[in-house]
Amino acid sequence: MAEIQEAIARVDQQRMDPTLGVKERGLLELSALALRDAERLAIARLQEKVYKDMELVTARLNQLSKRIRSRVTRMNKAPKALDVIESVIKEVVKILVAVGRW
């Protein structure tokens, strides 16, 4: 990409030479057009590559997100079970206290 841009700059500089003939100037114009087309093509290819890379990263992030949600769900099961056990123990204690008062 940098090489194409350097070549465009050189051709543009050469095109400004007032001593050039019509034929030489025309060839330099065609060269400049061809180089600019090559630059556009290179940019388009880079954009496609970046887009594909972004798709891969997005897919990986989605997989990671699913794994995290799955683990959070599993991690939440233990506290829920502990809450149920705590409630049962509190009820048993209430019953034992009530029986002790008789």
Residues 6-55 have pLDDT tens digits of 998 998 888 888 888 889 989 999 999 999 999 999 999 999 999 999 99
- Does pLDDT of 94 surpass 90? no
∠ CA(17), CA(21), CA(27), 5° rounding? 85
Q: Are 48 and 56 in contact (CB under 8 A)?
A: no
Provide the percentage of residues in the chain whose pLDDT is more than 90. Answer: 50
Rounded CA-CA distance 53/59 in Å is: 10
14 CB-near residues (< 8 Å, 6+ apart): 20, 28
Report the distance separating Cα 87 and Cα 94, nearest Å. 11
- Does residue 101 carry a pLDDT above 80? no
Task: State if pTM tops 0.85.
Answer: no
